Every structure is written in structure tokens, then in C-alpha cells.
Chain A
């Protein structure tokens, strides 16, 4: 039976206490904190993190479909899942699809993936879901919304949770929405939004699913379902359906915030992290109707392990100590440009020619002397000698095998904190790093506390957006301090 083979998740390092919004604007202070994407993160980079977490221990050749679900696609016309597939170094002979336009995007993508698997047109489909929605300054949404991502690898072999049934409901009601061109989330009057939207569709889809399969609330170990922006309505759903509070998966309102299309799937990952074999779960998400699934974990659920998932990402955090930084990172207020040279236009040809080096962080390994090597492919700079044709050590010509650096850990050899370089998160931290298995290169560092930088620091690679300029989101890799230290120690 088709089901979940693996899971992964991602929560940005930075969190902001909701009191910061209240300090800026007054009004009502909501409790808790939300996860804030760094300035170089978007739904695509967060989906990349979750996908990488999910594929840990799996050969990328195993994947023959990649879906990206989000309501915050970086591009209106350009497939996010294709960029993601290139960054993940997936084979090109796969299906890619972006699912967008609804908070149900994640479960819609999951249903489509299951259909493909059950129909035999795909063996293993990676479903990624990420969101990074914005509430306008001073409103409730600003305090409530968070950022995050999850990924599920679906297939028929080595399944950790079988998906035994589903039920779908469509509803045209637009309680919250964004039109083309809207930056911030819009909402109709709050009670009607919930009464006729979330609090109506979600219980209905959950109740109907139970009815369809002859199950009652007692039959479930866990019930995992979306939360609305008003989290009190989440608990009300369980009460009305006669679920006990102990059965309900925490919507992480106080620690994460509402992560939109990613919310339900992130909660499912959190549930799977704690699951034991034979747990029956009801999984549902809401958005212009609702989707519900019936899951049952297998004995393999306890063996997956090694994932950062929700739990370890949640524990690893840095507090954003001021609201102004939040405004800057989200690009909400215009800032004076630094008196530095304007960047040259980004060349689509140069990006395409170096796509393996840039998106998948491929370098080469010399077949003659064995040295892994990576050269930054920035052709405007005198060092942009890519592709590598002559070995930097033995100078053998054109005797290389591809060598991927994206999954290699490294150590800081030297660094600077550059205040002159224009950065949304000054100082610009730049590191020269030596990879554990050979090779040296220079990268921006992100998700760091400048005061903690030191030579010898352990780092890993992370896929980020360098900038948005003239319609191009320029994605590349940065170093960051190893995010979950216990992996290093263990």
C-alpha cells in the first residue's frame, strides 16, 4: 500500500517574540513567538532544506517525482520544483509540478502524488511544502504567521505510514486570500471567516472520513489537522468531534506560528517523530475546502531517525531582538541603498552554463591526484575559471569526475565580518572553508551570530537566495554553523 516512506522538515533559525510587534505598534500582544525566515530564505529555499532532511539516507535516483506546494512561489511563471530538482541533484527524467493558490496545496500535492504512485506512473514522489506569508504591519496576521517547510517522500516500498484512505471537500468561500499583486494577506470579518470556513469545512471533512471508513474518534492514536490563524478554533474542532485533547497534535502556535500551506504537513512530521508502530492517524488540512487522510504507521516508523525534522529544528534557534530587522528582512520598508557599485545584471546564460556548480554545488575531483576542487563560477571576477579544466594541484587537463560539495561539512579556515559590503544582515560574514573530504572555497555565511565566529568553526552548506534583482531570484549556497550540533557530537 502506498504511503509515507520518509519525512523531513525545516524551521528557520530565527524566531521573534510576539511582544516585539506589540512594542512597535501597541494594540494586543499575542503570546509566544513565531519563526522568521532569514532575509535569504523563501519558500523555495525552505522546501530545499526540508527535502534534504527528508532524503537523508536515500539515493536521489530513487525519486521520480518532485512536487512543490506553496502559496508563496518566488516566480509567477517559472517552475519552482524544477529549480528545486536541480538543487537537489535529482535526475532530469522526473515529473515536476508546483501546486499553489490554496492553503491545501500541500495535501493536494500529496493526493496527486499518491494517485500517480497508485496508478503506477511514479514509484517515489517527493512532496515538498513551504510557506512564508506576510501580514501587513500592525495587524494580527503579522503576529500570527510563521515560516517553515516539510517534505514527505511517498512510495510503496519501506513505507513508515500507510495512507489507507482519503476524502476531499471543495468550497469556494474566500475567508482569507491574496489577489495577484497583493503582498499581504487579506481577510474578511473574522468570525464569519471561521464559522463558514475553517470551523465548517474541516470538521465536515474529518467526520465524513471517519464515517466513510467506519471509524470513531477512539480509533485514532493521533489527530493531526490544520490550525487557523485564530488558534482557539483548533481546539474547538477536536471538542466538537469528541477527540480527547491528548489525541490532538499541537499546532505549535506558541513556538512556530501559522505556516500556511506547510502547517498541516509540519504537524504531521511532528506526529510521525513521536509515533509508534500501528498508530492510526487522521490527517487533515484546510483551504477553500478541506482534505483528509487516514494513516496507519508501520513498524518502520521507529527506524527512520536521523532527521532534524520539527523537534531538532525547533530546539535550534536564535531570537530576533528587534522588529526593525524583521521589516528589513521581509523587504517591507525601503532602505537607502549603500554607496557601493551597482551590481551588473545577472546573466541567464552564465547561470545556465554553470547550473550544476551553482544550483547543485558540484565541483570536480581530479582523477589523477584525487583532489576535490570547487571554483566559484562568477565570471565577472578574475577567479571565475569554470568549469575546472586544469587541476589546481597537479594541473592535469580534463581528467575529472563530478564531485558534489552540497552535502559535505567543512571547517572555517579564515573569515571576515564586512561592514562595507551592503547586506540586509550586517556585517556580511564571509568564510573561507576547508571541506572535510578535501577542497577549499569561499562562501557567504548565514544564520550566524557574528560574535561566535572563529577559525576552526564547523559549518555545513545551505541553499539560499543571494538577492532578487531585475526579476531574477539568484539562488546559491552559503555556509552556516552546523545547525544541530548533536549530530556532530554523536
Chain B
């Protein structure tokens, strides 16, 4: 009989590099920095690690199989698995590591996520390339794929372009403010609504500030059985739910897909709430780090995760529900938008913020008395994607 992961494993140490355009650092530097911060946090040595999962994507220069972890850290003949699942890569690495610990195969494991994108010299996410192909896919980019969701959202809910763009701009202003409080964030500058609205259009209707950056960075976690957690850490964080939902990619061929929600997010969220025993997500979740690759993505995620009713996220945005002082802070660390988006590391970066917040160590960004935090990643594009949803809390 299948069982929930709830309270079976705990995170007892985490590390995260500064994200950004780290011209003077290679992928191995980032792996070492994130891992050693986590080792120190958990009070362990590298040789205590029994197995490792490393999440890194194949879009740029970072993909190095298991050697991407073992070589920089000089791990001595340990099992290392490389995980790739688009933008859910880091969260899926965590998920697989947690299952191995829950299965009692290992006692102490390391999870890593890393990306070194900026060496490509390209603007935006460097998707494509690689194998010879038919090359007849439409000429669009990641912003373009998500912009089509914004176009449809505005149309469906009767928002004029100005109303729609203003709604999205408020999301961006909120995240930039949070990022300004975060010394590890890629972008640490608060911006105004006017700046967002007047920025150049990247892919209509999305402007420059509606899009997250592409960053270098790494994050790491040490996972142990829940029962052992306090041997390592006075305030460990316990895993409540670990969900991955990979869609059948039918939305681009089916006329019943509405392009204003992401079914994978909805289902991953529902499954995570069930696994964690959450009945009223809006009331029970203290904070969320969601996949705001674009402002419209965050807006729709709020509805898919049932934080806001369908078509009504604008009301919550206008009511400042998701600001640091709001009822349900979202992106307290600045999100992908400002912390940055080294794809393989992003899921673990989100968990790093949840972990620090739950421990009360988030400095000027600290949320009052958080109990449960949620992370969400979405890889792909609205009609066809893979989504992770992880919930963690302080008490077992």
C-alpha cells in the first residue's frame, strides 16, 4: 500500500550560492560553495554523504552526469545520479533523494542543483540546438510561449491590455521589493509600477520586467530520516509532500485546453495537499515560492494552487495578499524573477528560502510565524509541461 512521504524525511542542512551573472565562477565552484554551506549547516563532512542526486539541465554547459557532483566535491566512489526534468529538475532531484532515504537505503544524502548558463553568451534561455531535427517548430522563445497564456487570460477575463499588464506589473513590483532585501538575489533593486509598464516588450504582452532572468547558481540540501533529524540540526525541516506531475502534452492539439490554467499545476497541487493532509490551502500554507518564470505564470499558479478563485487573482493582487506582509506571502526571496533562474538549482533555491523562513533566519524578509511552505516548479510551456509541488514544515 502506497504511503505518503509526510514526516518520513527531513532536511537538516542547506546551501545556496548567490545567483546571478557569475562571470568569475565555473559550475564546479558553484557546486562546492552550495555543498559546503550545506555540510556546515548540517554539521557533517563530505565523507558522511552516502549518496548524491544532482539536478542539472541539458540546455547549456552544465550537464555533466553524476560526475558533475563527484568531481568538484571529490566524492569517493559514491552513488551519484543526475536528474533532468526541465525546470522541475532541482525539485525532482530532492524528491528522488527523499525516496531513497525514506526507503531506508541511505541515512545521509546530498541533493544538488546547479547551472552555469551565462557562459553561452546568448540572451534568454538557450533552448534548442543539439540533435539534427526537422526544425519546423514555430519561431518562438520561452517568453513567447508564456505570453500566449497572458493574451488568452486577458481576453477570457475581459481585461484590457492596460488592465492586464497592470495586474502583472504589480506581481513584478512585489517580487522586486522582496529581492531588494535578499543579498543572494540576482536582482536586488526595487522598481516601480511605471518602470514595469514602460519597459520594452519582449513578447507581447510581456515586457522586460515580466520575464525572469537567466542566472548562474547552485543550491544544496542534506536529507536524513526524520527520526535522525535532530541529531544534525536543532530546527530541521520536515517534508510533507513531494509531487511531480508530467502532462500528456495534449493541450496544443486539443481545442478544449483553455490556455488560462495549467492542469499539471492544479493536479500537482491537489496531490501535494492530499499528501500533506491540507484541506484549505489558502489558509494553511504560510508562504509559497512558485515558478514565476513570467509574471503571468505566477498569476495563473495562484489560481491553479487554489490560493485565488479562478479568474480572480487580480483581486488578491490588488489586495496585496501575496506581499511579505500579506496573508499569503509569495516569492519572499524575490522568486525566479529576482533571485534568478539557474534551472537545475531553482527548486532547491526555493526550498532554501522555505527552510530559512521556517527556521526564522530570513532576516529582513522574515515572515511572521510560518508553519508550512510550498515550492512549485513548472518546466515546459502551458499546454505541455512538468510540474513539481513540494510542501515542507517545521514540526514532524
Listed in ascending order, the chain A residues whose CB lies under 8 Å from chain B are 338-347, 349-351, 354, 358, 371, 373-385, 392-393, 413-423, 427-428, 430, 432, 434, 438-444, 455, 466-467, 469, 474, 476
| Complex interface: chain B residues within 8 A of A346 (CB) | 132-135
Of all chain B residues, the one with the shortest Cβ separation from A467 is B135
In the complex, the answer to whether B133 meets A432 with C-beta atoms within 8 Å is no
Q: Give chain B interface residues in 35-73, CB to chain A under 8 Å.
A: none
Q: A374-B253, A416-B148 are in contact. Are A444 and B139 (CB under 8 A)?
A: yes
Besides A378-B133, A414-B152, A420-B141, 15 other A-B contacts (C-beta < 8 A): A341-B126, A343-B129, A375-B252, A380-B130, A392-B248, A413-B259, A415-B151, A417-B204, A418-B203, A418-B204, A428-B144, A432-B259, A442-B252, A469-B135, A474-B136
Alpha-carbon separation in the docked complex, A341 to B380 (Å): 17
| Complex interface: chain B residues within 8 A of A381 (CB) | 133, 137
Q: Give chain B interface residues in 194-214, CB to chain A under 8 Å.
A: 200-204, 206
In the complex, the answer to whether B135 meets A474 with C-beta atoms within 8 Å is yes
Per-residue interface assignment for chain B, residues 113 to 136, with 1 indicating a CB less than 8 Å from any chain A CB and 0 otherwise:
000000011111011111111111
Report the count of interface residues on B (CB-CB < 8 A). 47
Q: Give chain B interface residues in 277-315, CB to chain A under 8 Å.
A: none
For A440, give its contact among B120, B143, B149, B255 (CB under 8 Å). Answer: B255
In the complex, the answer to whether A418 meets B144 with C-beta atoms within 8 Å is yes
| Complex interface: chain A residues within 8 A of B120 (CB) | 341
Q: List 29 A-B contacts (CB under 8 A).
A: A344-B129, A347-B131, A349-B132, A358-B136, A373-B253, A382-B249, A382-B384, A392-B254, A413-B152, A416-B140, A416-B148, A417-B203, A417-B204, A418-B139, A418-B143, A418-B202, A419-B201, A419-B204, A420-B144, A421-B141, A421-B144, A427-B203, A430-B139, A438-B255, A440-B253, A441-B253, A442-B138, A442-B252, A455-B152
Alpha-carbon separation in the docked complex, A264 to B200 (Å): 48
B155: Cβ under 8 A from any A Cβ: yes
Most buried by A among B121, B250, B253: B253
In the complex, the answer to whether B252 meets A416 with C-beta atoms within 8 Å is no
Alpha-carbon separation in the docked complex, A374 to B249 (Å): 12
Alpha-carbon separation in the docked complex, A441 to B255 (Å): 9
Of all chain A residues, the one with the shortest Cβ separation from B124 is A420
B173: Cβ under 8 A from any A Cβ: no
In the complex, the answer to whether B254 meets A440 with C-beta atoms within 8 Å is yes
In the complex, the answer to whether A376 meets B259 with C-beta atoms within 8 Å is no
Q: Smallest distance from the beta carbon of B159 to chain A beta carbons, Å?
A: 12
B147: Cβ under 8 A from any A Cβ: yes
Q: A341-B122, A385-B249, A432-B148 are in contact. Are A418 and B141 (CB under 8 A)?
A: yes
Of all chain A residues, the one with the shortest Cβ separation from B145 is A416
Most buried by B among A382, A419, A428: A419
For A378, give its contact among B136, B203, B249, B259 (CB under 8 Å). Answer: B136
Q: A347-B132, A416-B204 are in contact. Are A383 and B384 (CB under 8 A)?
A: yes
Of all chain B residues, the one with the shortest Cβ separation from A477 is B136
In the complex, the answer to whether B250 meets A392 with C-beta atoms within 8 Å is yes
For A392, give its contact among B130, B203, B204, B253 (CB under 8 Å). Answer: B253
Per-residue interface assignment for chain B, residues 87 to 126, with 1 indicating a CB less than 8 Å from any chain A CB and 0 otherwise:
0000000000000000000000000000000001111101
Q: Smallest distance from the beta carbon of A394 to chain B beta carbons, Å?
A: 11
Q: Smallest distance from the beta carbon of B137 to chain A beta carbons, Å?
A: 4
In the complex, the answer to whether B255 meets A434 with C-beta atoms within 8 Å is yes
| Complex interface: chain A residues within 8 A of B132 (CB) | 344-347, 349-350
| Complex interface: chain B residues within 8 A of A341 (CB) | 120, 122, 126-129
Alpha-carbon separation in the docked complex, A344 to B384 (Å): 22
Of all chain B residues, the one with the shortest Cβ separation from A347 is B132
In the complex, the answer to whether A379 meets B140 with C-beta atoms within 8 Å is no
In the complex, the answer to whether A378 meets B135 with C-beta atoms within 8 Å is yes
For B147, give its contact among A416, A474, A476 (CB under 8 Å). Answer: A416
For B255, give its contact among A385, A439, A443 (CB under 8 Å). Answer: A439
Most buried by A among B145, B252, B257: B252
For B144, give its contact among A339, A374, A416, A455 (CB under 8 Å). Answer: A416
Alpha-carbon separation in the docked complex, A455 to B152 (Å): 8
Q: A340-B122, A346-B135, A385-B249 are in contact. Are A414 and B149 (CB under 8 A)?
A: yes
| Complex interface: chain B residues within 8 A of A354 (CB) | 134
Alpha-carbon separation in the docked complex, A430 to B155 (Å): 17
In the complex, the answer to whether B134 meets A347 with C-beta atoms within 8 Å is yes
| Complex interface: chain B residues within 8 A of A443 (CB) | 138
Of all chain B residues, the one with the shortest Cβ separation from A450 is B204
Q: Smallest distance from the beta carbon of B383 to chain A beta carbons, Å?
A: 8
In the complex, the answer to whether A376 meets B136 with C-beta atoms within 8 Å is yes
Q: Smallest distance from the beta carbon of A92 to chain B beta carbons, Å?
A: 21
Q: Smallest distance from the beta carbon of B300 to chain A beta carbons, Å?
A: 13
Alpha-carbon separation in the docked complex, A392 to B122 (Å): 35
| Complex interface: chain A residues within 8 A of B255 (CB) | 413, 434, 438-440
Per-residue interface assignment for chain B, residues 150 to 194, with 1 indicating a CB less than 8 Å from any chain A CB and 0 otherwise:
011001000000000000000000000000000000000000000
| Complex interface: chain A residues within 8 A of B147 (CB) | 416-418
| Complex interface: chain B residues within 8 A of A379 (CB) | 131, 133-134
Q: Smallest distance from the beta carbon of B377 to chain A beta carbons, Å?
A: 16
Alpha-carbon separation in the docked complex, A384 to B152 (Å): 24
Alpha-carbon separation in the docked complex, A107 to B5 (Å): 77
Q: Smallest distance from the beta carbon of A260 to chain B beta carbons, Å?
A: 29
Q: Smallest distance from the beta carbon of A384 to chain B beta carbons, Å?
A: 8
In the complex, the answer to whether A455 meets B155 with C-beta atoms within 8 Å is yes
